[in-house]
Structure 1
Amino acid sequence: MENYYGEIAGIGTAVCWTATSMFFEAAGKRIGSLSVNLIRLFMAFFLLGTVTWITRGYFLPLDATSYNLTWLALSGLIGFTIGDLLLFQAFVVVGARISMLIMALAPPVAAIAGWIILGEAMTTKGLLGMMITLTGIMMVVLNRPAKEQNGKKPKLRDWFENPLGLLLAFGGAAGQAVGLVLSKKGMENYDVIASTHIRVMAGAIGFMIVFTFMRRWRRVFSALKDKKGMLFTSGGAFFGPFLGVTLSLVAVKFTSAGIAQTLTSLVPVIIILPSVFIFKERVTPREVLGAFVAVAGVAMFFI
């Protein structure tokens, strides 16, 4: 099992992303998604700093080299700030369903970026496992109900009539994938939690600049007064930029970027269980089949 630290961490990341997506959905409905994004990074900053202070004696990553700082900060800006902003705008333009479908391109983008930037080459078995897993994910995503504001169910061809929305969604996928690859390049043998801390700090600074430019600070201060919103955001911050991002760096450290990104993209499949048992939603046979296909693809990484 020691040979599969990266794969196990990748699945753990997807579990954390599933939890954080539910927390942030609830928080976003109360205080807005942009405010949630910035506040979650501040919360994660203090959580990560506390852990590194206890374990390493540093609240800030003062022992990081300039090489670590440069690449990890760039990773945080691309992954947290640019990627998230593009993805959230895609949600507005083309909706969450088609955006999540385009996000399924993140693993192959990560594999290509890993090959170009890190010189990583995936095995034939790894590529096959990636394709099977992504097929299962797309089966689940395409089966989710989606309605326009007028109550009519949109047709797939209608979604592709908005190239801007598709580009925004692809930008979100590429930002997430390239950010993960750059984090592996910048981390090297440096501490994983401290590396996450650097990424979070860079992402927070990026969002602060965006909020200043957009004049959104008043909304952030107003959001801080919403106790339930802050409670949901705290849960999302713990499972997201604190635990989830840390596990994603463990994943990419011990396996290839393409495999790590594939495993962390399992959220649409994993979220089926809480949807059924917690939210009492109905699951179609196609979603169940897609889940089994995705699991079969994941199993290939362990064979």
Structure 2
Amino acid sequence: MEQYYGELAALLTAFFWTVTALAFESASRKVGSLSVNLLRLGTAFIFLSVYALISRGKAFPVDAGTHQWVWLSLSGLVGFVLGDLFLFQSYVVIGSRISMLIMSLAPPLAAIIGWITMGETLTLKQAIAMAVVLAGIVLVVLERQSANENGNGKRVRFSYPVGGILLAFGGALGQAGGLVLSKYGMAGYDVIPSVQIRVITGIVGFTLFFALSNKWKNLSDALRNGKAMKRLLIGAFFGPFLGVSFSLLAVKYTSTGVASALMSIVPVLIIAPAVVVFKEKITVKELAGAVITVVGVALFFL
């Protein structure tokens, strides 16, 4: 059993991220995505700081250099502020199940950004994997529409609101850009304090959003919403804290490719709880699209 610690940690990470997506969708529907983003980052920072104090002896990233602060802060701005702002709003519009499916584009997008900006290699296998991921998503978000009696009408249409799909794509693009910037910004620095720097930037960014839009009352209302706060705490605990920790364990005990492939199964894992919790109806086409997407992501890493 010991030789499978990495694989088990990767599977648990996928489970944690599934719980996180469902919890944040529920909280965002109750109090709005902007409030959820700021509150979950604040909560996550507390969890991360406690973990950093235990594991490193330093609660805060006081040993980070200028390079780390500049580039990881930029990563937090792109990934946490812009990316998650789009992602959490997509939860409200199209739900976490479809949003997480579209978020499967993040690894391929990160590879393309890395190829363009950092000269990283993009192989034929990765290009094929990207095409498979895209095919799976297209199968879910597009559907054939029957022509009217005159033979007119659109043959293909979106199965979900276009705005929600674009928001989720913005989330995937933000996560991909944040990942590339994080890779450059870490430069050998520890992962946990690197995440802390990104979270600090996220907190500052969303605080500015509230200040400029004068929506402090929304935040106050969110804090008084007991049900939303419970879900937010669950999401913050299972995602930025447990999810990050177990993903690190996964890559420590198994290869990055195997860990990434196993952690990418969220679009499939989320189907059952979405049916039970949110009473969503799943079609055979959507199930097939989710499986194809996961296969494409796995192919990308293996």
TM-score strictly above 0.5? yes
1:267 corresponding residue in structure 2: 266
Deviation at 1:250, TM superposition (A): 8.1
Deviation at 1:116, TM superposition (A): 2.8
In the superposition, relative to structure 1, how do residues 115 and 13 fare at CA in structure 2: closer, same or farther (>3 Å)? farther
8 Å CA contact 1:75–1:178 kept in 2: the answer is: yes
In the superposition, relative to structure 1, how do residues 280 and 226 fare at CA in structure 2: closer, same or farther (>3 Å)? closer
One-letter identity of the residue aligned with 2:224 = K
Deviations 1:120-161 (A, max 9, x none): 213322332333234334434557xxxxxxxxxx99547999
1:45 corresponding residue in structure 2: 45
2:288 corresponding residue in structure 1: 289
**1:216 aligned to 2:215?**
yes
In the superposition, relative to structure 1, how do residues 138 and 247 fare at CA in structure 2: closer, same or farther (>3 Å)? farther
One-letter identity of the residue aligned with 2:16 = C
Q: Structure 1: which 5+ residue stretches go unaligned?
A: 144-153
2:146 corresponding residue in structure 1: none
**1:116 aligned to 2:116?**
yes
8 Å CA contact 1:10–1:264 kept in 2: the answer is: yes
| Equivalence map 1:10-25=2 (5 Å) | 14-25=14-25
In the superposition, relative to structure 1, how do residues 73 and 169 fare at CA in structure 2: closer, same or farther (>3 Å)? same
- TM-score, L = length of structure 1: 0.76
Deviations 1:26-57 (A, max 9, x none): 21232222111110000001000000011111
Secondary structure of 1:224's counterpart equals helix
One-letter identity of the residue aligned with 1:69 = W
2:147 corresponding residue in structure 1: none
In the superposition, relative to structure 1, how do residues 270 and 158 fare at CA in structure 2: closer, same or farther (>3 Å)? closer
In the superposition, relative to structure 1, how do residues 26 and 168 fare at CA in structure 2: closer, same or farther (>3 Å)? closer
Deviations 1:66-115 (A, max 9, x none): 111111111011111112224455677x7559877765543332111111
8 Å CA contact 1:137–1:269 kept in 2: the answer is: no
One-letter identity of the residue aligned with 2:231 = F
One-letter identity of the residue aligned with 2:209 = V
In the superposition, relative to structure 1, how do residues 297 and 20 fare at CA in structure 2: closer, same or farther (>3 Å)? same
1:180 corresponding residue in structure 2: 179
| Equivalence map 1:143-162=2 (5 Å) | 157=157
Deviation at 1:272, TM superposition (A): 1.3
- TM-score, L = length of structure 2: 0.76
| Cα distance in 2 between the residues matched to 1:189 and 1:289 | 40
In the superposition, relative to structure 1, how do residues 60 and 29 fare at CA in structure 2: closer, same or farther (>3 Å)? same
Secondary structure of 2:224's counterpart equals coil
| Cα distance in 1 between the residues matched to 2:57 and 2:219 | 32
| Equivalence map 1:1-303=2 (5 Å) | 14-88=14-88, 95=94, 103=103, 105-142=105-142, 157=157, 170-245=169-244, 266-276=265-275, 281-300=280-299
| Cα distance in 1 between the residues matched to 2:223 and 2:17 | 23
In the superposition, relative to structure 1, how do residues 88 and 279 fare at CA in structure 2: closer, same or farther (>3 Å)? closer
One-letter identity of the residue aligned with 2:241 = F
Between 28-37 and 189-198, report the one with greater CA deviation.
28-37
8 Å CA contact 1:23–1:233 kept in 2: the answer is: yes
One-letter identity of the residue aligned with 2:68 = N
Identity %: 52
CA RMSD, aligned part only? 3.9
In the superposition, relative to structure 1, how do residues 104 and 142 fare at CA in structure 2: closer, same or farther (>3 Å)? farther
One-letter identity of the residue aligned with 1:195 = S
Q: Structure 2: which 5+ residue stretches go unaligned?
A: 144-153
Aligned residues: 286
8 Å CA contact 2:10–2:250 kept in 1: the answer is: yes
| Cα distance in 1 between the residues matched to 2:169 and 2:44 | 26
Secondary structure of 1:59's counterpart equals coil
